[in-house]
Amino acid sequence: MPVKDLVDSEGKCMTVLDVDGFLLPDFKCPSQENDFRSMADNFVARDDDVLLSNYPKSGTHWVWEIIQMLSTQKAELIEYSKMNCMLENLSKESFDSLPSPRILNTHLEFSMLPKDFLRRKFDYMSWFDNVRNWHKDIKEHKEYPIHVIHYEDMQQNGIEEIRKLAKFIEKPYNEKLLKDIQDKCQFEMMQKGKCVGNIFWKENTAGVYREGKVGGWKKVFTVAQNEKFDKVFQEKIADLHLDIKFTI
């Protein structure tokens, strides 16, 4: 698993792992090559595992924290980071030692997940490919319990989305718990209450927690860049007819 450096237009470098053409962050774990390559066959799931999977910067920390609160029935932020429960960042020994119920997370595609997850009901390349591949795999594996959450829906109607999630993972809830969880997981609360290292981020950037808003692309894209994105979007995934909201 060769390590390579990616250099941006400013000359700043990010080190990644090249796994047969799929680029991953270098988590600097001594056994990461063997663990990653053996993950599909050797990581054994448990009946009460919950696996959160999505593309980076799509609200993973947010939803992971909500699932933790529903699991513990307490609207309290977890002291540790989701990185402690991230498949790509775990050795098999660490994976096996996590106490149940395990609230796991990953940015890997469906085809790269441990096979035992797939039998039991259940950095990261192109967003377009990720979305297309997950869309295809969800349609082809309707027997697996997969619940889809949209970041924009969480922003617009958080309590209702948390209620749906609680039902999906079969956790009890009442209206007070839902409201407490929504309040505790507001962006400002998580930004202040969670200490997450920014060792993988460029200097002078917001790091893991950016703005917590929808439509931030408007501040970043030029007109020409937006037009280019729209063109690539049409070419790559427009045929899927997904309900993707770019603003609310």
pLDDT, tens only, 14-64? 888 887 788 888 877 777 777 777 787 888 888 899 999 888 888 888 899
Structural domains counted in the chain:
1
The answer as to whether 73 is a domain residue is yes
Distances (CA, A) of 66 to 84, 225, 230: 16, 34, 32
CATH number for position 104: 3.40.50.300
Judged by average pLDDT, the poorest of 34-38, 65-69, 98-102, 209-213 is 209-213
The answer as to whether 248 is a domain residue is no
What's residue 159's pLDDT?
A: 94
Judged by average pLDDT, the poorest of 33-37, 55-59, 180-184, 210-214 is 210-214
The answer as to whether 160 is a domain residue is yes
Under the banding of pLDDT at 50, 70 and 90, the label for residue 122 is very low
The answer as to whether 156 is a domain residue is yes
- Nearest Cα to Cα of residue 64 among 73, 77, 48, 45: 77
Provide mean pLDDT across the span 149-159. 89
- The total number of residues shown for the chain amounts to 248
The answer as to whether 246 is a domain residue is no
Under the banding of pLDDT at 50, 70 and 90, the label for residue 88 is confident
CA distance 153 to 147: 13
What's residue 196's pLDDT?
A: 54
pLDDT: is 166 or 16 the higher one?
Answer: 166
Provide mean pLDDT across the span 95-124. 74
The answer as to whether 247 is a domain residue is no
Q: Is 44 helix (H, G, I), strand (E, B) or coil?
A: coil
What's residue 71's pLDDT?
A: 93
pLDDT: is 142 or 198 the higher one?
Answer: 142
Full domain range(s) for residue 192: 3-240
Provide mean pLDDT across the span 133-156. 88
Query: What are the contacts of 3-9 at 24+ separation with CB within 8 A?
Result: 8/202
- Order across the sheet with 13-19: list the strands: 3-7, 13-19, 22-25
Percent of the chain exceeding pLDDT 90 equals 21
Q: Does the structure show a pLDDT above 90 at 179?
A: yes
The answer as to whether 78 is a domain residue is yes
Under the banding of pLDDT at 50, 70 and 90, the label for residue 105 is very high
What's residue 72's pLDDT?
A: 93
What's residue 121's pLDDT?
A: 29
Q: Does the structure show a pLDDT above 90 at 3?
A: no
What's residue 120's pLDDT?
A: 33
